[in-house]
């Protein structure tokens, strides 16, 4: 018996009846020989961590554009926080941690530069629209490994696709990541907003803090414990009515005071204009797209190739390309 088979045997005996077992995966788009050591979901974790798209997350905006300071979140640190919260919940509910981790680490691979401002910009110019969760699936299915994709299991791709809105994921592990994503971003965005002086602790309504707690750690703990208690031995991931209501009120507070605050978001219009101009430039000059995107241009059209290229950019790379294309350069006489 291989090490993989031993692990899958332990999964079968130890995991919840509602957990997804790796031996029961619906499989990959292309069949592969099984690894003798790692389960299919463990292999997916490794493929995501070693991908170029994952490495680029460290230079992509979470909420605040190019903040001055080393302690603000990036898309990478957000992803790692989602992973830790999701795995804590999955472990407590005896779900498959490897599947949970793969979905959590891959859920934002398709996110644009400049956070949701960049997503809105591409949604406005891309025929048919743009959504980062769909682009994340496209990254793992089409764009990584020189167009081959990562060939991930169906369960991981489904969890990535369903992590934001619409139909819940088909697995409880995917549903855990969706909730963990909300728990992570709403709380670390509060912490970053407090650090930046956008809001102050006294601004958070007492009726929310009375339920969720008055500190970052207390809020995370309350939300995680509530999810565990409400979802224990249940066929879906849920929250108690009181905590769900408080979390929704907290989101509304953040949208009113942070996500639309001119102090925090005043530069987003510039970022959106920059991406729009880059998009229009490469529409007119598709021969200047990198070689990796020329096959996409031939197979799926110029707009799709341009969108894939810009969506994959990091913040500093997008700024640099904009400078090269639109800002006059100085010259000297030699």
Per-residue pLDDT of the chain (334 residues; tens, 9 = 90+): 999 999 999 999 999 999 999 999 999 999 999 999 999 999 999 999 999 999 999 999 876 655 555 667 789 999 999 999 999 999 999 999 999 999 999 999 999 999 889 999 999 999 999 999 999 999 999 999 999 999 999 999 999 999 998 999 999 999 999 999 999 999 988 988 888 888 999 999 999 999 999 999 999 999 999 999 999 999 999 999 999 999 999 999 999 998 887 766 677 888 999 999 999 999 999 999 999 999 999 999 999 999 999 999 999 999 999 999 999 877 777 6
Bridge partners, residue 61, by sequence: 74
* Domain of 283, in residue numbers: 268-326
Same domain, 222 and 279: no
Tell which of 229, 263, 297 closes a domain: 263
Are 134 and 110 spatial neighbours (Cβ–Cβ below 8 Å)? yes
Does residue 331 lie within any of the structural domains? no
DSSP secondary structure letters along 134-200: HHHHHIIIIITTTTT----BHHHHHHHHTSSSSSPPSSHHHHHHHHHHHHHHHHHHHHHHHHTTSS-
Same domain, 227 and 96: yes
**Whole-number Å distance between alpha carbons of 126 and 103:** 26
Same domain, 239 and 306: no
Rounded to a whole number of angstroms, the distance between the first and last alpha carbons of the chain is 72
Nearest to 134 by CA among 163, 155, 97, 114: 163
Same domain, 11 and 93: yes
pLDDT of 71 reads 61
Same domain, 50 and 185: yes
Q: What residues contact residue 121 under an 8 Å CB cut-off, 6+ apart?
A: 112, 114, 271, 272, 275, 276, 279
pLDDT of 231 reads 98
Same domain, 288 and 220: no
pLDDT of 192 reads 84
pLDDT of 74 reads 87
**Whole-number Å distance between alpha carbons of 302 and 264:** 34
Bridge partners, residue 153, by sequence: 28
Same domain, 98 and 202: yes
Does residue 115 lie within any of the structural domains? yes
Does residue 334 lie within any of the structural domains? no
Does residue 194 lie within any of the structural domains? yes
Does residue 160 lie within any of the structural domains? yes
**Whole-number Å distance between alpha carbons of 180 and 220:** 10
CATH number at residue 89: 1.10.3210.10
Q: Within the chain, what is the greatest distance between any pair of CA atoms? A: 76
Helices (H) and strands (E) in the chain, counts: 17, 0
Same domain, 222 and 190: yes
Same domain, 208 and 295: no
Does residue 158 lie within any of the structural domains? yes
Taking CA atoms, 256 is separated from 47, 62, 67, 189, 204, in Å, by 39, 18, 20, 13, 11
Tell which of 220, 244, 263 closes a domain: 263
Taking CA atoms, 154 is separated from 5, 30, 38, 71, 175, in Å, by 20, 11, 17, 36, 15
- What 3-state class would DSSP assign to 18? coil
pLDDT of 261 reads 75
- Overall domain count for the chain: 2
**Whole-number Å distance between alpha carbons of 130 and 113:** 13
Same domain, 239 and 131: yes
Does residue 228 lie within any of the structural domains? yes
- What 3-state class would DSSP assign to 109? coil
Tell which of 238, 263, 288 closes a domain: 263
Nearest to 133 by CA among 175, 161, 171: 161
Are 164 and 178 spatial neighbours (Cβ–Cβ below 8 Å)? yes
Same domain, 276 and 168: no
Does residue 169 lie within any of the structural domains? yes
Same domain, 203 and 303: no
pLDDT of 334 reads 67
Taking CA atoms, 277 is separated from 245, 272, 273, 282, 312, in Å, by 41, 9, 6, 9, 16
Q: What is the pTM of this model?
A: 0.95
């Amino acid at each position: 018996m291989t090490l993989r088979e031993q692990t899958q045997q332990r999964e079968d005996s130890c995991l919840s009846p509602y957990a997804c077992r790796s031996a029961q995966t619906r499989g990959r788009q292309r069949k592969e020989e099984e690894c003798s050591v790692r389960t299919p979901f463990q292999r997916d974790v490794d493929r995501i961590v070693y991908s170029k798209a994952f490495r680029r997350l460290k230079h992509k905006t979470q909420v605040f554009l190019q903040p001055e300071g080393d302690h603000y979140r990036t898309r990478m640190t957000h992803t790692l926080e989602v992973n830790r919260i999701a795995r804590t919940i999955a472990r407590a509910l005896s779900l498959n941690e490897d599947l949970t981790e793969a979905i959590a680490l891959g859920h934002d691979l398709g996110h644009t530069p400049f956070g949701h401002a960049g997503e809105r910009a591409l949604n406005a110019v891309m025929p048919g629209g743009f959504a980062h969760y769909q682009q994340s699936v496209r990254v793992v299915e089409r764009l990584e490994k020189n167009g081959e994709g990562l060939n991930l299991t169906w369960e991981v791709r489904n969890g990535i696709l369903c992590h934001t809105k619409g139909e819940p994921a088909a697995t409880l592990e995917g549903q855990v990541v969706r909730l963990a994503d909300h728990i992570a971003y709403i709380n670390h965005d509060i912490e970053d907003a407090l650090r930046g002086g956008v809001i102050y602790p006294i601004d958070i309504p007492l009726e929310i803090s009375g339920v969720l707690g008055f500190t970052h750690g207390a809020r995370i703990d309350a939300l995680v414990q509530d999810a565990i208690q409400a979802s224990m031995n249940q066929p879906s991931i849920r929250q108690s009515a009181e905590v769900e209501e408080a979390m929704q009120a907290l989101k509304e507070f953040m949208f009113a005071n942070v996500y639309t605050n001119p102090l925090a978001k005043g530069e987003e219009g510039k970022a959106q204009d920059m991406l729009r101009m880059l998009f229009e430039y490469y529409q007119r000059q598709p021969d200047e797209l990198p070689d990796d995107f020329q096959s996409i241009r031939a197979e799926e059209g110029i707009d799709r190739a341009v969108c894939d290229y810009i969506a994959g950019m990091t913040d500093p790379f997008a700024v640099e390309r904009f400078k090269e294309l639109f800002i006059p350069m100085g010259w000297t006489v030699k």
